[in-house]
Structure 1
Amino acid sequence: MANYDFDLFTIGGGSGGVAASRRAGALGARVALCEENQVGGTCVHRGCVPKKLLVYGAHFREEFEDAAGHGWTLAEPPRFDWGTLQAAKDKELERLEGVYRRMLKDSGVRVIQGRGRVVDAHTVEVGEQRYTARHVLVATGSFPSLPRVKGVEHGLTSDDALSLKAVPRRLLIVGAGYIGVEFAGIFRALGARVTMFFRGSTVLRGFDDDVRAFLTQELRKKGVDLRPETQVADVEKRPDGSLSVLTGMGETLEVDAVLFATGRVPHTKGLGLEAAGVKLDERGAVCVDAHSRSSVESILAVGDVTDRINLTPVAIAEGRAVAEGLFNGQERSMDHTGVASAVFSQPPVGAVGCTEREAREKHGAVDVYVSTFRPMKHVLSGREERTLIKVICEPDGGRVLGFHMVGADAPEILQGLAVALKCGVTKRQLDATVGIHPTAAEEFVTLRDKRPEPEAESAGELGHDARKSVD
């Protein structure tokens, strides 16, 4: 039997890589992990955590405004300092990296600073040093994708937007996926004039059509200037530092910053994977089987680099499953069905299961229940923000196929409903559940009126006569 330096060598210290390495170490394996930047990866340093902290900071503006309707008078107008929020955010990220490094150390994992490159099926090179391992795990995540646009170098990526020195006065966001709508909410609440260019007619491609239409309406209420079916042709920098943006239709827009929120791609370039025999798809993602094994048996991959479901908890579950299979004799795969997702837009989105379109394609006839209402809090605050709740299920009280929500606390509420969906909850069981009153969550167990079957082209267009609306 070959004598290797390690049982597992992980390339990438993000959520999936750390989870797999820690679990493998706890099971007694000899583990090394290399990371060229900070341990914690995209989620901790360039994604979920810093964005959520900025969302919290930005949302205080509305909290202060809403307070007046509830009897509060502020002695002085509240003032915001971007530098203070950024410093607090950076301090927390530094603390989290320390926690990650400590957890790896406590699990017996050796952390090697530097960029890893696969030499062959059992060899990884970091700098000028080579290490051998029985198994190699690729967990290098993804990075922002930029469009082929003249002057794109003058724009920002989502990574850049998290470390801006100041809030831009006029901001253009190109793209309306979850990254785009989240940053639109953050910077609009912090006082920026935000414009969004996107190819479709509504935001959040891939989500339920009603969710997309509803969030599009709510973003407009917040003052975000939405420009559907609009693309950037050219970005030109002016002598004063501002940017002139030319659209594909020949219109121009003057802004102070352009954020390209045009997606992310698997981070496999320069890793030596193809030379080692690892198959990649057309986007550069590592092709893996249900057990996260690549075309080379000793090389595995988890997380965004596989381009399956690009969410932190999924990467963690995939990583743990790999460790259990390799070092605990429990060959198992991560179940990618019924995974809930959240978008921390303002208002936020939560979803789990099928969209209405997917449900009809897979199951034919379905029952759809929709409720839109003004939250109780805003009856006194005067804010016109509304909430959408939607349940899609098999006919006659059958199994629920999808839960969807746009509104305050949607991600928190959908987490519990994701458990119910995983357990096979039926509409009949929802109806038999006593709600907690008064809450938005109780709407999910009080929906009784089915929406009539939509006409061929009308599904997903809010405003249908049968939709419930409560003020």
Structure 2
Amino acid sequence: MTFDYDLFVIGGGSGGVRAARLASTEGKARVALAEEYRLGGTCVIRGCVPKKLMVFASAFKDQVEDAASYGWDAKIGAFNWQEFHPKLRQELDRLEGIYGNILDNNNVERFHARAEMVDAHTVKLSTGETFTAKHILVAVGGRPSVPDIEGAELAITSNEVFLWDALPKSILIVGGGFIACEFACILQGMGVEVTQFYRGEQILRGFDRESTDFISAAMVEKGVNLKLGENVSKIKETEAGLQVTATSGEVTLFDQVMFATGRAPNTSGLGLEAAGVEVGSKGEIVVDDYSQTNIPSIYAVGDVTNRINLTPVAIREGAAFVDTVFHGNPTKPDHDLVASAVFTQPEFGTVGMTEEEAATTGDVEVYTTSFRPMNTLFAGREDKVFMKLIVSVETRKVLGCHIVAPGAGEMIQLAGIAVKMGATKEDFDRTCAVHPVMAEELVTMKSPTRVVKGTS
């Protein structure tokens, strides 16, 4: 059978674009890609990139105040969203243009249209066009989930934050994951009065508990009104604002309510049923170790598979897909020991096991340190940082590294190399410290804070 394309990619985010480019250039394939919204996907357009720029913007208030303590004639006024926001939009436009150029320069035909599968080899676009492909790659990412409560339609999600014409004076953020916590810190830093509800007993569930306890306390110290064990019962629109009734019965008015209560694979309306593709209980596309679905011609990468929902992982999965399908080199994307960062203030960088997870593997030594870093100590701040290593008593390998500090994302990228390589505590100890920097503490913690008996 003759096909219109060797590969048709549905979704123009990081994973889909990487796969399309590599398949076209290195795999010598005829490739097309369809994206219904904007090239770059969640990360570039409504996720990592604009969020990180907002993190930078929100941090300058403290930095300018610290500058005055260092002798600078520095004063800060109110944050001006109208000044910042157009520049943010310009940067996103620039990045989207780069993604388009990448596809064009690598001979990938692109369609600004929604695509859905008709069968195992056929894709229909919202323009009415239909194409056939030897292989189809689904890389459509995820979308915010909104709880089924009265008045939920009055709230926004993280998608809409980047479209604001003006900052609200007050906001309720519902959720305890990294998106909720990051935006709580960002908006508080920009001068918004922030309340955060989380139904659980501590934010950032699934991360190292001692580290999240530290982050939670720091957020409250900086002014976030964090209410644990609390949730929204209903939302009502009034002339004065959005009236929120909490599950505790408390009623409060906010200018905005944002749900950051999880994300779901963006699989509705893709034609998965027509193509016979298996879908999991959470709506995710079920794939094997090589990102192949139960239909041999259809693959999926990124958040739509609900494996590890991080942009660099989607990119790796896209590259592994090309190696497997177009290079004849079956390649499994490596999902082991993936480092990550949460851009709260202070940042959280983490790689490997939590203390709780490590204890299930056997006895572990836990090394911790907390101190006031030099730069903010001099400025008179009480801010502290926290660092933690988890070490197997039996193998001496560092099983986990967790850092809560300014620049923790930068630090964990480098620490992640050592943990990925299987470095032992003695390897860390033999490494000479760089002085004076915060990260030197990672190689100077000589005695364990505690030894935890294995629970296995």
Q: TM > 0.5 between the two?
A: yes
| Counterpart for residue 208 of structure 2 | 208
Is 1:273 aligned to 2:272, yes or no? yes
Q: Shift of residue 73 of structure 1? A: 2.1
Contact 1:243/1:255 (<8 A) preserved: yes
Q: Shift of residue 260 of structure 1? A: 0.5
| Counterpart for residue 285 of structure 2 | 286
**Counterpart-to-counterpart distance in 2, 1:297 and 1:396:** 43
Following superposition of structure 1 onto structure 2, how do residues 328-339 of structure 1 map, counting pairs within 5 Å?
Answer: 328-339=327-338
**Counterpart-to-counterpart distance in 1, 2:65 and 2:181:** 22
Letter in 1 for 2:231: Q
| Counterpart for residue 468 of structure 1 | none
Give the secondary structure class of the aligned counterpart of 2:216.
Answer: helix
1:108-149 alpha-carbon deviations (Å, 9 max, x no partner) = 100011000010000000021110000000000000000111
**Counterpart-to-counterpart distance in 2, 1:383 and 1:432:** 33
Following superposition of structure 1 onto structure 2, how do residues 216-231 of structure 1 map, counting pairs within 5 Å?
Answer: 216-231=216-231
**Counterpart-to-counterpart distance in 2, 1:214 and 1:349:** 10
| Counterpart for residue 20 of structure 2 | 21
| Counterpart for residue 430 of structure 1 | 428
**Counterpart-to-counterpart distance in 2, 1:260 and 1:402:** 31
1:202-245 alpha-carbon deviations (Å, 9 max, x no partner) = 211110001110000100110101100001000011024x1110
Q: Shift of residue 396 of structure 1? A: 6.4
Q: Shift of residue 453 of structure 1? A: 3.3
- Residue 389 (structure 2) aligned to one of 388, 391, 411: 391
Contact 1:123/1:131 (<8 A) preserved: yes
Contact 2:362/2:392 (<8 A) preserved: no
**Counterpart-to-counterpart distance in 1, 2:211 and 2:17:** 34
1:270-317 alpha-carbon deviations (Å, 9 max, x no partner) = 101022111011110000000000010100000000000000000000
Letter in 2 for 1:296: I
1:72-110 alpha-carbon deviations (Å, 9 max, x no partner) = 222x54342101111111100000011001011111100
**Counterpart-to-counterpart distance in 2, 1:11 and 1:125:** 11
Contact 2:364/2:391 (<8 A) preserved: yes
| Counterpart for residue 38 of structure 1 | 38
Q: Shift of residue 454 of structure 1? A: 5.4
| Counterpart for residue 451 of structure 1 | 449
Give the secondary structure class of the aligned counterpart of 2:406.
Answer: coil
**Counterpart-to-counterpart distance in 1, 2:191 and 2:277:** 48
Is 1:403 aligned to 2:401, yes or no? yes
| Structural RMSD (CA) | 1.3
Contact 2:177/2:262 (<8 A) preserved: yes
Q: Return structure 1 stretches of 4+ with deviation > 6 angstroms.
A: none
Contact 1:430/1:444 (<8 A) preserved: yes
Give the secondary structure class of the aligned counterpart of 1:279.
Answer: coil
1:346-374 alpha-carbon deviations (Å, 9 max, x no partner) = 1110000001111111x120111011111
Give the secondary structure class of the aligned counterpart of 2:173.
Answer: strand
Q: Return 5+ residue gaps in structure 1 as ranges.
A: 458-471
| Counterpart for residue 160 of structure 1 | 160
Letter in 2 for 1:391: L
| Counterpart for residue 9 of structure 1 | 8
Letter in 1 for 2:355: E
**Counterpart-to-counterpart distance in 2, 1:452 and 1:349:** 22
| Counterpart for residue 195 of structure 2 | 195
Contact 2:202/2:213 (<8 A) preserved: yes
| Counterpart for residue 85 of structure 1 | 84
Give the secondary structure class of the aligned counterpart of 2:350.
Answer: strand
Letter in 2 for 1:453: V
Q: Shift of residue 383 of structure 1? A: 1.4
Q: Shift of residue 397 of structure 1? A: 7.2
**Counterpart-to-counterpart distance in 2, 1:289 and 1:166:** 45
Letter in 1 for 2:16: G
| Counterpart for residue 58 of structure 2 | 58
Give the secondary structure class of the aligned counterpart of 1:234.
Answer: strand
Contact 1:151/1:235 (<8 A) preserved: yes
Give the secondary structure class of the aligned counterpart of 1:275.
Answer: helix
Contact 1:22/1:104 (<8 A) preserved: yes
Contact 2:19/2:321 (<8 A) preserved: yes
Cα distance change, pair 297–396 in 1 and its aligned pair in 2 (3 A): closer
Quote the sequence identity (%): 45
Q: How many residues align?
A: 453
Give the secondary structure class of the aligned counterpart of 2:272.
Answer: coil
